[in-house]
Every structure is written in structure tokens, then in C-alpha cells.
């Protein structure tokens, strides 16, 4: 499925999956880091992907190698 409209002048919607990482030492919190993770056309599919990625992020936040880092995913709509 293409993210571009087939008809000229049509309004298109797509959903950006944004990854947000923030380091928390307990005393202070750093500025968050933002990453563009995925682009998905379907809003329902984007919501499900965000839920699954957040579930995996919770497991990863507990890992010894990522101590102090909190990762969350969000979906935002882009209209063009």
C-alpha cells in the first residue's frame, strides 16, 4: 500500500510511530530523545503496533543493559 494518493488533490492520512527514550537517574531526568520508528497507513494497525512495542519496551526497561533508560512508543497522525 502506498502512502501517496492515487488522485491528485486527495487528502492522505498516515500514522507515524515515534520512539521516545529518556534517562532517569532518580535525581534528575534528561531531555527525551525522539526517533521515527515506523510509518503505517492504517490507524488500527498503528495502535496495535504501539501496544506491542510498549509491551516489549517494558521488558527491555528491566534489562540490566538499559538501566535508567525508559522507552515508550506513541502513534501520531500525519495528514497531507
The pLDDT of residue 66 is 62
Q: Which residue has the higher pLDDT, 7 or 47?
A: 47
Q: How far apart are CA 58 and CA 41, in angstroms?
A: 25
Chain segment 24-70, per-residue pLDDT in tens: 767 766 788 899 999 998 889 999 999 999 998 888 766 656 677 78
When pLDDT is cut at 50, 70 and 90, the band that residue 2 belongs to is low
Chain segment 8-20, per-residue pLDDT in tens: 777 778 899 999 9
Q: Dihedral of the CA atoms 44, 49, 51, 55 (nearest 10)? A: 170
Query: What phi and psi, each to the nearest 5 degrees, are found at residue 72?
Result: -140, 155
The answer, as to whether pTM is greater than 0.75, is no
Amino acid at each position: 500500500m502506498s502512502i501517496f494518493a492515487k488522485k491528485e488533490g486527495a487528502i492522505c492520512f498516515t500514522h507515524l510511530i515515534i520512539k521516545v527514550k529518556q534517562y532517569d537517574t532518580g535525581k534528575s531526568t534528561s531531555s527525551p530523545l525522539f526517533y521515527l520508528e515506523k510509518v503505517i497507513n492504517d490507524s488500527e494497525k498503528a495502535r496495535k503496533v504501539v501496544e506491542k512495542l510498549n509491551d516489549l519496551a517494558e521488558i527491555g526497561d528491566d534489562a540490566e543493559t538499559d538501566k535508567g533508560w525508559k522507552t515508550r512508543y506513541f502513534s501520531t497522525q500525519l495528514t497531507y
